Amino acid sequence: MIPAEHYVILSALLFVVGGVGFLVRRNVLVTLMSIEVMLNASNLALVAFNRSRLAHVASQTYVGQSHTGQVFAFFIIAAEAAEVAVGLAIVLAFYRLRRTVRSDEADLLKN
């Protein structure tokens, strides 16, 4: 059995890789994909912690071990789908204005 720490360490490594990509790259598409990497890393940590802390819960509809981390990850996936849809629409609108997808060309509000 792999200990839960390994999952958390892998999640931290993925988060660092995604964050470095978000800060270093200037292609807006790659920036969005780096955000995806970071959110996937956080999902992995949430599910690993859920697996490690199995509290017993009893409500009217469900008696068993709690799924709090997994439900959190589920909502993160939903929010991420919305974020990608809006983000890619903004990329398209920006491309129509500037004919490029470089983030440092997005200076319409400068000065």
Partner 1 sequence: MTAVGNIYFYACALMALVGALGVVASKNPIRGAMGLLLLILSVAGLFLALHAQFLAAIQLIVYAGAIVILFLFVIMLLGPSASTPSDRRGIAARVFGGGLFGIAGLAALWAVVSSAMAANRAMPMPVPDDSFGGIDAFGSVLFADALVPFELSSGLLMVAVLGAMAVARGRQGQKSMSKNELEVGASPFPVEPQRQLPGQTAGVFSHEIHLHEGSERPKESAP
Given a contact cutoff of 8 angstroms between Cβ atoms, the answer to whether 50 and 62 are in contact is: no
Q: How far apart are CA 51 and CA 5, in angstroms?
A: 11
| Nearest approach, Cβ of residue 92 and partner 1 (Å) | 5
Q: Which of 1, 58, 107, 110 contacts partner 1 by CB under 8 A?
A: 1
Interface with partner 1 in residues 45-84 (CB under 8 A)? 47-48, 50-54, 59-62, 64-67, 70-71, 73-75, 77-84
24, 35, 70, 89, 107 from 27: Cα distances, Å: 9, 13, 32, 15, 15
Task: Check residue 108 for interaction with partner 1 (CB under 8 A).
Answer: yes
- Is 23 a residue that touches partner 1 (CB under 8 A)? yes
What phi and psi values does residue 63 have, to the nearest 5 degrees? -125, 120
Least distance between partner 1 and beta carbon 42 (Å): 11
> Is there binding between residue 91 and partner 1 (CB under 8 A)?
yes
